[in-house]
Copies of this chain bind each other. A is one copy, B any other.
Amino acid sequence: MDEKLISKAVIRRLPRYYRYLGDLLDDGVERISSGELSNRMKVTASQIRQDLNNFGGFGQQGYGYNVRYLYAEIGKILGLNHTHNMIIVGAGNLGQALANYKSFENSGFKTVALFDVNPAVKGKKVRDIEIHMMNELSEFIPDHHVEIAALTLPKSEAVSVAEKLVDYGVKAIWNFAHTDLNLLLPEDVVVENVHLAESLMRLSYNLTTKKDSKVEEK
């Protein structure tokens, strides 16, 4: 049963649909048409229908989409219907910030532990989640069925630690270090690079460009 490969562009949009549908649910909205959703999200209705039809017909002619149903279906597509155990490697501010995001748990991502090299933080807790030492990783990962590791470490350590994590059984890495781990790890390891610095540079580009055109207008 080989399903057609879904394009990255579609996958990038799915979580956004999911978020808007969640907001609609919270607002008690029962049904929505692609046209109405298109207005809210500022994308074309055509795109919404095309995107959704990659995965099946979730709507009904003349009616639109049932919000609760569509929300659940997109959740399934994204794999949010199962719990994924996650660890955070690097218990600095960023690691702790992630541990504090309670909303991740609602989407099925359960942070089961933090890890750090600094003995001073050993045993400390961030919202019930204990900080462990790095040498416990090899046992902890298989024992707790850890699938995902968030890497909040400096670039210098990221690669070697990532390789170990994969050895110990981690299937996916949520990478906050400034390297492209996907190019350095085995093909079958799922890597999502965050690259905050690049996000800030894009902002800077837009800021600079906008300013330039302002000047030109004068």
- Chain A residues packing against B (C-beta within 8 Å): 1-2, 11-12, 14-16, 18-19, 41-42, 77-80, 82, 84, 92-94, 96-98, 100-101, 103-104, 107-109, 147-148, 171-172, 174, 178, 180, 183, 188, 190, 192, 194-211, 216
Contacts and interface: CB of A to CB of B under 8 A. Distances in A.
A213 to B, nearest CB: 8
Given A172-B207, A207-B84, A201 B15 contact: yes
Secondary structure class of chain A's binding surface, majority of residues: helix
- How many copies make up the complex? 2
A193 to B, nearest CB: 9
Given A14-B205, A202-B12, A205-B79, A197 B103 contact: yes
A93 B211 CA distance: 32
A80 B42 CA distance: 30
A137 to B, nearest CB: 19
Contact of A216 (B2, B16, B80, B197): B2
Nearest to A211: B171
A205 to B, nearest CB: 5
A45 to B, nearest CB: 16
A92 B84 contact: no
